[in-house]
Chain A
Amino acid sequence: MNATNGKVIAIECLRYDPQTDDAPHYETYQVPFTDDMSVLQGLQYIKDHLDGSLTFRWSCRMAICGSCGGMVNGVPRLSCETFLRDFYPEGLRVEPLTHFPIQRDLAVDQTDFLVKLRSIKPYIIPEAPKPVTEGTFLQTPQQMDEYYQYSQCINCLLCYAACPQYGLDREFTGPGALALLHRYNADSRDAGKAERMELVNADEGVWGCTLVSYCSEVCPKSIDPARAVNQNKVESTKDYFLRFVAPRRNG
């Protein structure tokens, strides 16, 4: 490992154990660091050497598993691709993702997102069953482009922490799940749009979005959930008017 050149940074972490603590508090740790060290590596240093009870999730450390989201100086970030050098010498404050219940310290309860993910029917609903022996669907690169960016969601929940509407109303389906809903609706292999439009149209669907677009700004994969949501506002409007002229396919 590199020499740290004597550089030390203060990392202030929110600590909270709902079992034993009345309220969250902060603890500050002095962490020696090198310029290539991420915030996650700073947290790992604390856990290994200073305080083994500091609790946080992490896994791939390469910004693809979506485990290590948190608030870094108030901004939703993946801790593995946020670097300590950018906060030197002032130091930084690390907190759990906002808008979610804290399970312990920096780990939040992800259940609400998982329920919402299930609700959008996140799978291909084919027009008719297709046996594997018939081979693949044909899908041109242009058809792929229709949904491809929305399939890049790593479920890190930064967009939920960024969404003021979700902060106000936990019923709102939210940017991540709505982007995934759009991912399936826009896929040429899928015929489940009608089933999903009920959720799109509902109170907790796209109309909950107030177009702040902070979700798109914080997305670590440069997906534009706000665009997906607003495309679905158009779809929802069309769907609303079509109801008067054509009967629904699925009741």
Chain B
Amino acid sequence: MQIIQSDVIIVGGGGAGLRAAIAASERDSRLRVALVSKVVPMRSHTVAAEGGAAAVTRGDDSLQYHFEDTVSGGDWLCDQQAVEYFVAHAHEELVRLEHWGCPWGRQPDGHVNVRYFGGMKVPRTWYAADRSGFHILHTLFQTSHKYPGIKRYDEYFCVELLVDDGHVRGVLAIEIATGEFVVFEAPSVVFATGGVGRVFRSNTNAGTVTGDGMGLAYRAGVALRDMEFMQYHPTCLLGTGILMTEACRGEGAVLTNKDGYRYLQDYGLGPLDPWPRPKAMELGPRDRLSQAFWHEMKKGRTLETPQGPAVNLDLRHLGAKKIHERLPLIAEAAKTFSGVDCVREPIPVCPGVHYMMGGILTNVRCETTLPGLYAAGECASVGIHGANRLGSNSLTELVVFGRVAGEQAAQFALAAPRRAGSVLRQAQPVADALLGMLRNTEGERLAAVRDEMRLSMEKGAGIYRTQEHLEETCRKLMELRSRYAKGIKLDDRGRAFNTEWLTAIELRNMLEVSQAIAHSALERRESRGSHQRLDHEKRDDVNFLKHSLACRRGDEVPRIDYMPVTITKSSPRARVYGGEGKQVVLT
């Protein structure tokens, strides 16, 4: 087995991974930084982010406002120390992206423009039309070519975190083209592997979003925090799950039910007028909007279509010019994938799984509980999103905490003593077991297990949850894990470019991370942010103002522990949107 020596290993080549790689290389250009990704970096899912990235920019905004919007948006489950760090470093990171070439939208005088997003008191979203993630990713990817210390390993799929005596030693990966196993050895590893939305049936996520890093960290004994908080984005293109960005509403689009009625006014987001005004109606937060859809559906006020219930996202009053300038991808995607000309007709949309607020437990320095292991981006839970993430905070998170993770991992590598002893001792049995999957002569089709998992997650861990349905999902996941362990029979027995084999390994991670989600949700007997229990409808700060920690217990169900929430300056109070307010001009 080939062993590749480096100083810092970054797993994942999306926004957080690339930013971490650059930061590590800038910390010391002599460091050998291995950027290991299962896809060529520009294919990473950051590419699909649309709306923009938040940072305090205007004179009428303040760090305090960004902090308050984020903490109340997260229903007081945010770690406030992390939020303070985040809002204070957001602007400089977006400026850095600008220096690296990101084509941020501009005002006529050449300054960067900002737009409104949901739950924002003052507009602070930097945008590159509605392809913000695409431009951030390509800017970082292209800029990474400047750093000779960064060596890319494109299309290497990580299958195990190598740990020896409580210290990270590297990762075991499969070179996809050949199917050969490769050990990457280094004293520090950064996981920047993205989310896990593909465990649900209807989602906005790319096929690659399979919780790999979460699964690997969890298997290595690191807790997954706040996994019950899965964000449903309220506006996905019907039947496809393709994201119709919140920026549509930030630019003035409205949501109507089958009667043409702006139903959000019935769900604590009204009154309708004056409109537009911040943090009201369509500029409310995602959890509330997705929940409102569910209620409309139960009342029979959604549109019934062959592809399921929908509401209308109406952009028509924005006019063709503004739509094509600010929302070109939306216009193109609605046309291509649904045949809808959004200049002339409303877009039928419904909620879909979008973003995991929880993830690998880290502190504000992106350190996990395992020395040498760092995490950043969606795979991590650094604590800024709480129970519901505000739109535009995650793209900023990639660069703010990607940088921190890269710098910290570099620092650790520079100080770490080289450990003796071979990592092959741990790697070889893992590789042998995975190769065994290629020889199964009996077993089920991969897709059967995967599809049952997705349906069960949607049924039990969707927008509204109950003990009964969650228990059913938990039972189903255990059953699927045991069916998986009995064997998946692959059609493809070769090693070179065997994507069926890789998908089967991904499914192992997905089943385990799904258990972390479902059991964390089952144990949280309250409603907070994106976690809504029909059998426990109120937020319960006495018993549940705390983070959940899902800890792996081998083949058993996870153990759910808790840890306190760090509160520095905002004590929990009622989370209020809508209400009175002044009309504003959308920029």
Q: Which residues in A have some Cβ–Cβ distance to B below 8 Å?
A: 2, 17-20, 36, 47-49, 51-53, 55-67, 81, 103-104, 107, 109-110, 114, 117-118, 121-124, 126, 130, 132-133, 135-141, 143-144, 147-148, 151-155, 180, 184, 187, 189-190
User: Is B135's CB under 8 angstroms from A151's CB?
Assistant: yes
From B96, B101, B177, B332, name the one whose CB has the most chain A CB atoms within 10 angstroms: B101
* Closest Cβ–Cβ distance, residue A82 to chain B (whole Å): 10
Question: Could you list 25 examples of A-B contacts with CB < 8 Å?
Answer: A18-B496, A36-B239, A51-B491, A52-B446, A52-B492, A53-B500, A55-B499, A59-B39, A64-B48, A64-B134, A65-B44, A104-B496, A107-B497, A122-B142, A123-B142, A126-B99, A136-B104, A137-B99, A138-B109, A138-B110, A140-B109, A151-B135, A153-B138, A189-B99, A189-B101
> Could you count the A-B residue pairs with CB atoms below 8 Å apart for me: how many are there?
159
Count of B residues near A, CB < 8 Å? 60
Distance, CA A60 to CA B14, complexed state (A): 13
**What residues of chain A lie closer than 8 Å to B44, measured between beta carbons?**
65
In residues 332-382 of chain B, which contact A (Cβ within 8 Å)?
332-333, 336-338
**What residues of chain B lie closer than 8 Å to A67, measured between beta carbons?**
39, 43
**What residues of chain B lie closer than 8 Å to A124, measured between beta carbons?**
99-101, 143
Taking A64-B131, A137-B99 as given, write out 6 further A-B residue pairs in contact, using a Cβ cutoff of 8 Å, ordered by the A residue number.
A52-B492, A58-B207, A65-B45, A81-B336, A132-B99, A144-B106
Distance, CA A39 to CA B446, complexed state (A): 21
**What residues of chain A lie closer than 8 Å to B134, measured between beta carbons?**
64, 154
User: Is B112's CB under 8 angstroms from A136's CB?
Assistant: yes
B299 within 8 A of A: no
Distance, CA A133 to CA B99, complexed state (A): 11
Distance, CA A177 to CA B510, complexed state (A): 37
User: Is B497's CB under 8 angstroms from A52's CB?
Assistant: no
* Closest Cβ–Cβ distance, residue B305 to chain A (whole Å): 10
**What residues of chain B lie closer than 8 Å to A123, measured between beta carbons?**
100-101, 142-143, 145-146
Q: Which residue of A lies closest to B48 (CB)?
A: A60
In residues 478-507 of chain B, which contact A (Cβ within 8 Å)?
490-492, 494, 496-500
**Of A17, A62, A132, which one neighbours B494 at CB under 8 angstroms?**
A17
B473 within 8 A of A: no
B103 within 8 A of A: yes
Distance, CA A81 to CA B336, complexed state (A): 7
**What residues of chain A lie closer than 8 Å to B452, measured between beta carbons?**
none
Distance, CA A241 to CA B146, complexed state (A): 30
**What residues of chain B lie closer than 8 Å to A58, measured between beta carbons?**
207
**What residues of chain B lie closer than 8 Å to A155, measured between beta carbons?**
42, 138
* Closest Cβ–Cβ distance, residue B212 to chain A (whole Å): 14
Q: Answer whether A144 and B103 are a contact pair too, CB < 8 Å, given A2-B307, A132-B95, A136-B95.
A: yes
**What residues of chain A lie closer than 8 Å to B491, measured between beta carbons?**
51-53
Q: B176-210 toward A: CB 8 Å interface, digit per residue (1/0)?
A: 01000000000000000000000000000011100
Distance, CA A133 to CA B337, complexed state (A): 43
User: Is B497's CB under 8 angstroms from A139's CB?
Assistant: no
**What residues of chain B lie closer than 8 Å to A104, measured between beta carbons?**
496-497
**What residues of chain A lie closer than 8 Å to B48, measured between beta carbons?**
60, 62, 64-65
**What residues of chain B lie closer than 8 Å to A81, measured between beta carbons?**
336-337
Q: Answer whether A65 and B42 are a contact pair too, CB < 8 Å, given A52-B446, A189-B99.
A: yes
**What residues of chain A lie closer than 8 Å to B96, measured between beta carbons?**
132
**What residues of chain A lie closer than 8 Å to B500, measured between beta carbons?**
47, 52-53
Distance, CA A136 to CA B307, complexed state (A): 45
B154 within 8 A of A: yes
Distance, CA A140 to CA B112, complexed state (A): 9
B92 within 8 A of A: yes
User: Is B142's CB under 8 angstroms from A20's CB?
Assistant: no
User: Is A60's CB under 8 angstroms from B42's CB?
Assistant: no
Q: Which residues in B have some Cβ–Cβ distance to A below 8 Å?
A: 39-40, 42-45, 47-48, 92, 95-96, 98-101, 103-104, 106, 108-112, 131, 134-135, 138, 142-143, 145-146, 154, 177, 206-208, 239-240, 242-243, 306-307, 329, 332-333, 336-338, 445-447, 490-492, 494, 496-500
User: Is B110's CB under 8 angstroms from A143's CB?
Assistant: yes
The 8 A-B pairs of least Cβ separation, nearest first, read A52-B491, A138-B110, A53-B492, A48-B447, A122-B142, A104-B497, A52-B500, A59-B206
**What residues of chain B lie closer than 8 Å to A64, measured between beta carbons?**
47-48, 131, 134, 329
Distance, CA A136 to CA B499, complexed state (A): 43
User: Is A60's CB under 8 angstroms from B206's CB?
Assistant: yes
**What residues of chain A lie closer than 8 Å to B445, measured between beta carbons?**
48-49, 52
Q: Answer whether A60 and B112 are a contact pair too, CB < 8 Å, given A36-B239, A53-B492, A124-B99.
A: no
Distance, CA A154 to CA B40, complexed state (A): 12
* Closest Cβ–Cβ distance, residue B22 to chain A (whole Å): 11
Q: Which residue of A lies closest to B208 (CB)?
A: A59
**Of A103, A121, A138, A151, which one neighbours B103 at CB under 8 angstroms?**
A151
User: Is A140's CB under 8 angstroms from B206's CB?
Assistant: no
User: Is B496's CB under 8 angstroms from A19's CB?
Assistant: yes
Q: Which residue of B lies closest to A222 (CB)?
A: B332
Q: Which residue of A lies closest to B339 (CB)?
A: A36
Distance, CA A58 to CA B239, complexed state (A): 19
Q: Which residue of A lies closest to B143 (CB)?
A: A123
User: Is B154's CB under 8 angstroms from A114's CB?
Assistant: yes
**What residues of chain A lie closer than 8 Å to B243, measured between beta carbons?**
62
**Of B146, B206, B447, B497, which one neighbours A61 at CB under 8 angstroms?**
B206
Q: Which residue of B lies closest to A48 (CB)?
A: B447
User: Is A19's CB under 8 angstroms from B494's CB?
Assistant: yes
Q: Which residue of B lies closest to A133 (CB)?
A: B92
From A63, A121, A143, name the one whose CB has the most chain B CB atoms within 10 angstroms: A63
* Closest Cβ–Cβ distance, residue B55 to chain A (whole Å): 11
Q: Answer whether A130 and B306 are a contact pair too, CB < 8 Å, given A64-B329, A139-B110.
A: no
Q: Which residue of B lies closest to A18 (CB)?
A: B496
Q: Which residue of B lies closest to A130 (CB)?
A: B99
**What residues of chain B lie closer than 8 Å to A130, measured between beta carbons?**
99
* Closest Cβ–Cβ distance, residue A222 to chain B (whole Å): 9
**What residues of chain A lie closer than 8 Å to B109, measured between beta carbons?**
138, 140
Distance, CA A135 to CA B497, complexed state (A): 46
**What residues of chain A lie closer than 8 Å to B131, measured between beta carbons?**
64, 152
Q: Answer whether A2 and B306 are a contact pair too, CB < 8 Å, given A67-B43, A184-B101.
A: yes
* Closest Cβ–Cβ distance, residue A163 to chain B (whole Å): 20
* Closest Cβ–Cβ distance, residue B313 to chain A (whole Å): 16
* Closest Cβ–Cβ distance, residue B448 to chain A (whole Å): 9
Distance, CA A152 to CA B131, complexed state (A): 9
Q: Which residue of A lies closest to B237 (CB)?
A: A62
* Closest Cβ–Cβ distance, residue B40 to chain A (whole Å): 6
* Closest Cβ–Cβ distance, residue A51 to chain B (whole Å): 6
Q: Answer whether A121 and B99 are a contact pair too, CB < 8 Å, given A59-B207, A66-B42.
A: no
**What residues of chain A lie closer than 8 Å to B145, measured between beta carbons?**
117-118, 121-123
